[in-house]
């Protein structure tokens, strides 16, 4: 093959120019499976523990209001509903107000994370929400609770999309569903642990003149502050500056990500790419689909303790019964996503999980006996088994930091409007069966099912990035720059594949 860039296919030449291919004698053999296994194992060891523990703590803080609602409900004078007057729709409003600033600040947060580095930004988020969670224990009125919940939304905004984007710096598309599952699996662990934690904290009721719900906010806020400081100081940022790699491993870790993945050297924001990404109709199909899924996720997060309590169980028994559904969900999430990565397929795995979760809401809408309704709780707990393959598919349809930041930030921000709507789908007046909410979420999942089929038809069901130029992958495999540096506006300004050739095809850029 000729080595003069002028004689090559234009797209291949551009890829080589962007990635420094052929500019160094330090060749990287991307077919070295032993080296790749060692690199991925190191990334798993140094990256996953930080994000999994962070997300576990995040979920504990996210659902503590739901647990506080049922905590010590066998002694109403010490229950948060009685003390703060959370009657009627007041609890639903307290849940929803969190999401207003959360949605507004979520997308800009991804660009701030790229600018300030992931460790500093995610650490800052954790410390902020931990302090505000602790302050919730001092609330004395419904108005005070609304104020604290609003500022909690400001503090926590950007955490989830930030972590999803952070993973895209380290893992290839075909590896992301499993890591997202491990990440999301910590939610199931947190869901199970939160029930056990709330059970234990219920016995602190009255200690130091504090109600059980006050202890709950204190003891779930402190870990966020402590671990946020650990993240700020110790969490690695990018493969380019990871101290746990040897030089050979670092070069391989950078080169193996290919031309699509976000990179440390990318511009923080590219206006042209942002416009192209946001004006693509399929961008909003993803966003709406994910919005419907998140209504299910939030409904379970905030109302599963109430649903179980309405089955006839009170006190610590109701808290303990939230544990088995979350353990079941953990197994389903991990199993589905592991197989999705193994088979390198996304859409069918998301669809299968949607059927499972939709069946759960259908059972809740139709059944009145407690055994059937409790089985339904097991099924709706598995929502993340659909979400994670779906998100992994989403991240594989964009290239560079700007588009990835928008695909994760805006999509997740839009979806979190479900945090505003979901609480009002389950007003207390429709209890104990909450038929309106269950039928509405079931309808949303049916719509998501159809839109996911459409996305698979338009973009394929594979876990890999779309092909962008014939032979370019082989060119990248021959050699890569050890520093992993790229030309100005490299992937953020380049279109893969060229728009003129593929604007309407299934490989069109999102």
pLDDT in tens, 275-286: 888 888 888 999
DSSP state of 138: G
Q: Are 487 and 262 in contact (CB under 8 A)?
A: no
Angle formed by the axes of helices 159-170 and 33-70, nearest 10°? 170
Tokens 């921000």 belong to 413
CB within 8 Å of 271: residues ≥ 6 apart: none
Name the nearest CA neighbour of 47 among 249, 197, 235, 210: 235
For residue 165, pLDDT beyond 70: yes
Q: How do residues 308-364 score in pLDDT, each as one tens digit?
A: 777 777 666 776 787 788 888 888 988 998 898 888 888 999 999 999 999 999 998
Of the two residues 236 and 84, the one the predictor is more confident about is 236
Q: Six-digit token pair at 104?
A: 């507004």
Candidate from 4-18, 165-179, 302-316, 399-413 with smallest mean pLDDT: 4-18
Q: Are 107 and 161 in contact (CB under 8 A)?
A: yes
Q: Six-digit token pair at 437?
A: 């909410």
Of the two residues 411 and 186, the one the predictor is more confident about is 411
Q: Where are the domains of the chain?
A: 32-466
Q: Are 120 and 210 in contact (CB under 8 A)?
A: no
Q: Which fold has domain 32-466?
A: Growth Hormone; Chain: A; (1.20.1250)
Candidate from 90-94, 149-153, 379-383 with smallest mean pLDDT: 90-94
End-to-end CA distance of the chain: 32
Helix (H) or strand (E) holding 288: helix 281-309
Candidate from 9-13, 162-166, 237-241 with smallest mean pLDDT: 9-13
Look at the chain and count its residues: 510
């Amino acid at each position: 093959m000729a080595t003069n860039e002028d004689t090559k296919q234009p797209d291949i030449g551009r890829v080589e120019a962007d990635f420094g291919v052929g500019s160094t004698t330090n060749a990287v053999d991307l077919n070295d499976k032993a080296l790749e296994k060692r690199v991925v194992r190191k990334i798993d060891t140094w990256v996953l523990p930080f994000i999994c523990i962070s997300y576990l703590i995040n979920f504990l803080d996210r659902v503590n209001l739901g647990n506080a609602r049922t905590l010590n409900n066998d002694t109403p004078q010490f229950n948060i509903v009685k003390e703060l007057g959370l009657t009627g729709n007041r609890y639903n409003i307290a849940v929803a107000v969190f999401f207003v600033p959360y949605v507004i600040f979520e997308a800009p947060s991804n660009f701030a994370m790229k600018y300030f580095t992931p460790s500093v930004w995610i650490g800052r988020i954790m410390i902020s929400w931990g302090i505000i969670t602790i302050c919730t224990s001092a609330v004395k009125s419904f108005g005070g609770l609304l104020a604290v919940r609003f500022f909690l939304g400001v503090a926590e905004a950007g955490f989830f999309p930030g972590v999803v984007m952070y993973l895209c710096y380290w893992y290839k598309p075909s590896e992301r569903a499993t890591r997202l599952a491990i990440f999301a699996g910590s939610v199931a662990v947190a869901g199970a642990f939160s029930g056990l934690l709330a059970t234990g904290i219920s016995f602190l009721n009255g200690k130091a003149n504090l109600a059980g719900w006050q202890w709950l906010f204190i003891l779930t806020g402190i870990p966020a502050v402590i671990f946020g400081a650990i993240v700020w100081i110790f969490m690695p940022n990018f493969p380019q500056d990871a101290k746990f790699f040897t030089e050979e491993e670092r070069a391989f870790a950078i080169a193996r990500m290919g031309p699509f993945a976000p990179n440390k050297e990318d511009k923080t924001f590219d206006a042209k790419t942002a416009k192209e990404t946001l004006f693509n109709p399929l961008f909003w199909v993803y966003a709406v689909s994910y919005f419907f899924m998140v209504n299910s996720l939030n409904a379970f997060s905030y109302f599963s303790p109430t649903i179980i309590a309405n089955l006839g169980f009170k006190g610590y028994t109701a808290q303990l019964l939230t544990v088995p559904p979350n353990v079941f969900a953990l197994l389903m999430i991990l199993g589905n996503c592991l197989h999705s990565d193994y088979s390198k397929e996304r859409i069918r795995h998301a669809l299968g999980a949607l059927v499972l979760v939709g069946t759960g809401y259908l059972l809740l809408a139709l059944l009145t006996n407690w055994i059937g309704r409790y089985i339904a709780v097991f099924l709706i707990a598995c929502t993340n088994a659909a979400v994670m393959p779906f998100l992994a598919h989403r991240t594989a349809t964009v290239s560079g930091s700007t588009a990835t930041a928008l695909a994760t930030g805006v999509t997740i921000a839009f979806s979190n409007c479900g945090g505003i709507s979901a609480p009002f789908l389950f007003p207390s007046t429709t209890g104990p069966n909450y038929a309106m909410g269950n039928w509405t979420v079931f309808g949303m999942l049916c719509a998501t099912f159809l839109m996911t089929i459409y996305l698979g038809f338009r973009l394929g069901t594979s876990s890999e990035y779309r092909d962008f130029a014939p032979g370019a992958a082989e060119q990248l495999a021959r050699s890569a720059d050890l520093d992993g540096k790229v030309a100005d506006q490299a992937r953020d300004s380049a279109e893969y594949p060229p728009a003129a050739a593929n604007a309407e095809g299934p490989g069109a850029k999102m």
